């Protein structure tokens, strides 16, 4: 039995007060996500219910009840407060998907500090840019990642505390470092949460743009109103579900739907932190009898490559609802999932900036394979003419995806970058930066980005950031970065470079440059191919024409080249 009636029924008289009432929230009340995801669930009589099942490398396993996660949040919050961390301070969570990442998130929010989760595969430069911009006061990390922090700590005057959660005492702690063990700490039973209100900042997620540095997307505690109801209606989470969201909390899906959504509903969630393999994933689903699975198209396409035989080795009969997020889900993947699981993946569309699901294929809705579905109730979504920014009325005409501002989980600003935030709003619409069409039945169909940002495996990579890093390599004179088509990741990073005098083109140099970027930024940002050029195409004013390089990769018409500089 689904949580909701038909889509048509839900949109008729929709109001976000439905969510407020279910959460027991009234305008002006204290609303703290950390408390709502733990203490409130315990007060509802579910203290002994399993909240969290975790598995890591080498067969490590941990399990926590809702009372356990309440105590852990209190204990971490109390420790941070004891250091002098206060409301509004930024606390970075820089860890693999270990329990401390999830429990630390609750602890940071309970004291009114701002959680800044960052992907643990980031290199020191990517880390530095984001910590510097946020003026982060504390970072919670692991032994394996602390060396990246050590490289940059001296140039981060605001960073006072480097907290290592798994320090084994074998090597001495260095400057600013302190050891904290949740296992050895005394559990804090009674804890006064900071009385955050609707507009109190909660989470700072960084996202990439076409130009300039990554932008810190600021969310507030009121975002819970949207995240709670979308997970209940779209993911159809119910009290007896075992839920698995495969996203890393370094990205917004991993916090909105990998921490807040299940726990605000009192639902048991699983996390597997062992890397990807079809056999491991299917085995995990079978072992824990996962019922609702929220994943990404890249992973789904990788599972498709592993073939149907891999599916047949496992009992996946517990699954009842599948959903997808992060990038367009191709029609073939939907058809394949219906064939092998007997269930279709329901595509959902949203962004770091929107904080929660915006377009979706509702449970029970007729799925058109390849479509992102329709707007969630309470969301007004349109396609705008790129020139006039007026809504396009005729079906199937491409334009910009835009939304009417005012939904609960909408970002409140870009950190220290209000000007760029304001530029996202035109004629009373929020511009997503993506293009799509709407068919005659009101279904949205993705067309592509409206900028040069590369969506590789559901993660946004800034060409500017990669180009800047490439120029730091001793051999690179000039660089341009574009997306290249890829069967599994949809698109990957490709770099075009010109070399400085004294350096010669070679496969060995290509590998060195790739690894340089991988260490400096992240494996996601590393170019999968480097093409050497004598000259990069430029306008007469000297601007590199990424558009021409992109068209070449995708077999598109290169369009007007009249502004290109003369080769004479």
Beta strands 50-56 and 268-273, pairing class:
parallel
CATH of domain 7-436: 3.40.50.12780
Tens of pLDDT, residue by residue over 97-149, are 999 999 999 999 999 999 999 999 999 999 999 999 999 999 999 999 999 99
When pLDDT is averaged across residues 267-294 and rounded to a whole number, the result is: 96
Question: Which CA distances in Å does 304 have to 9, 308, 340, 368?
Answer: 35, 7, 10, 19
Tell me: pLDDT of 542 over 70.
no
Tens of pLDDT, residue by residue over 463-488, are 878 888 898 899 998 889 999 999 88
Arch. (CATH architecture) of 454-554:
2-Layer Sandwich (3.30)
**Residue closest to 446 by CA, chosen among 324, 343, 340, 564:** 324
The predicted pLDDT at position 356 comes to 98
Least confident range from 40-49, 227-236, 319-328: namely: 319-328
354 vs 257: CA distance, rounded Å:
13
Between 537 and 360, name the one with better pLDDT. Answer: 360
**Ranges 192-206, 326-340, 550-564, most confident:** 192-206
What is the CA angle 322-433-407, rounded to 5?
A: 65
Binned at pLDDT 50, 70 and 90, residue 560 comes out as low
Provide CB contacts within 8 A for 91, sequence distance 6+.
80, 85, 108, 113, 114, 115, 116, 136, 137, 138, 139, 140
Which helix (H) or strand (E) segment is 279 a member of? Answer: helix 278-288
Rg (CA), the chain: 24
When pLDDT is averaged across residues 29-50 and rounded to a whole number, the result is: 98
Mean pLDDT of the chain: 93
Tell me: pLDDT of 564 over 80.
no
Break the chain into its structural domains and give their ranges: 7-436, 454-554
Tens of pLDDT, residue by residue over 345-359, are 999 999 999 999 999
95 vs 469: CA distance, rounded Å:
23
Q: Cβ(172)–Cβ(197) under 8 Å? A: no
Show the tokens assigned to 273: 């932190």
CA-CA-CA-CA torsion sign (304, 305, 310, 314) = negative
The predicted pLDDT at position 568 comes to 35
CATH topology agreement for domains 7-436 and 454-554: no
When pLDDT is averaged across residues 187-216 and rounded to a whole number, the result is: 91
Tell me: pLDDT of 306 over 70.
yes
């Amino acid at each position: 039995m689904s949580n909701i009636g038909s889509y048509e029924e839900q949109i008729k008289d929709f109001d976000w007060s439905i969510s407020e009432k279910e959460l027991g929230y009234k305008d002006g009340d204290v609303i703290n996500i950390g408390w709502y995801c733990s203490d409130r669930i315990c007060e509802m009589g579910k203290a002994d219910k399993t909240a969290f099942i975790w598995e890591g490398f080498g067969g490590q396993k941990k399990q926590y009840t809702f009372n356990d996660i309440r105590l852990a949040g209190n204990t971490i919050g109390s420790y941070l407060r004891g250091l002098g961390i206060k409301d509004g301070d930024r606390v970075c969570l820089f860890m693999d998907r270990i329990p401390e990442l999830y429990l630390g998130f609750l602890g940071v929010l309970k004291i009114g500090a701002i959680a800044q989760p960052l992907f643990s595969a980031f290199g020191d430069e990517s880390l530095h840019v984001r910590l510097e911009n946020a003026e982060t006061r504390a970072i919670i990390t692991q032994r394996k990642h602390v060396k990246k922090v050590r490289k940059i700590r001296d140039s981060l005057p605001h960073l006072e505390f480097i907290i290592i959660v798994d320090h084994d005492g074998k090597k001495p702690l260095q400057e600013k470092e302190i050891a904290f063990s949740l296992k050895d700490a005394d559990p804090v039973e009674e804890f006064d949460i900071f009385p955050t209100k609707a507009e109190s900042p909660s989470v700072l997620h960084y996202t990439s743009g076409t130009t300039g540095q990554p932008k810190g997307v600021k969310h507030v505690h009121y975002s819970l109103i949207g995240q709670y109801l979308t997970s209940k209606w779209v993911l159809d989470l119910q009290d007896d579900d075992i839920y698995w969201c495969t996203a890393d909390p370094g990205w917004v899906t991993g916090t909105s739907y990998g921490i807040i959504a299940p726990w605000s509903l009192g639902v048991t969630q699983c996390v597997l932190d062992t890397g990807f393999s079809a056999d491991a994933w299917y085995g995990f689903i079978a072992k824990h009898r996962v019922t609702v699975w929220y994943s990404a198209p890249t992973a789904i396409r990788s599972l498709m490559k592993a073939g149907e035989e891999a599916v047949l080795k496992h009992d996946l009969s517990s699954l009842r609802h599948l959903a997808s997020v992060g990038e367009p889900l191709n029609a073939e993947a939907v058809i394949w999932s219906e064939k092998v699981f007997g269930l279709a993946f329901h595509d959902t569309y949203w962004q770091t900036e929107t904080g929660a699901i915006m377009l979706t294929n509702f449970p029970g809705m007729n799925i058109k394979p390849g479509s992102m579905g329709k707007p969630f109730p309470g969301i007004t979504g349109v396609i705008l003419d790129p020139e006039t920014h007026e809504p396009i009325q005729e079906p199937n005409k491409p334009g910009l995806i835009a939304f009417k501002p005012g939904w609960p989980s909408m970002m409140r600003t870009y950190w220290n970058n209000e000007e760029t935030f304001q530029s996202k709003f035109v004629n009373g619409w929020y511009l997503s930066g993506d293009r799509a069409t709407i068919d005659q039945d009101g279904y949205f169909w993705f067309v592509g980005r409206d900028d040069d940002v590369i969506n590789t495996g559901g993660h946004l990579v800034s060409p500017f950031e990669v180009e800047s890093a490439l120029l730091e390599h001793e051999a690179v004179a000039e660089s341009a970065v574009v997306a290249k088509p890829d069967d599994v990741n949809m698109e990957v990073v490709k770099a075009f470079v010109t070399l400085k005098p004294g350096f010669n083109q070679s496969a060995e140099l290509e590998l060195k440059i790739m690894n340089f970027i991988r260490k400096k930024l992240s494996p996601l940002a590393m170019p999968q191919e480097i093409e050497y050029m004598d000259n990069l195409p430029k306008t007469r004013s000297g601007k590199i024409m990424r558009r021409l390089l992109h068209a070449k990769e995708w077999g598109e018409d290169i369009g007007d080249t009249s502004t290109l500089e003369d080769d004479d």
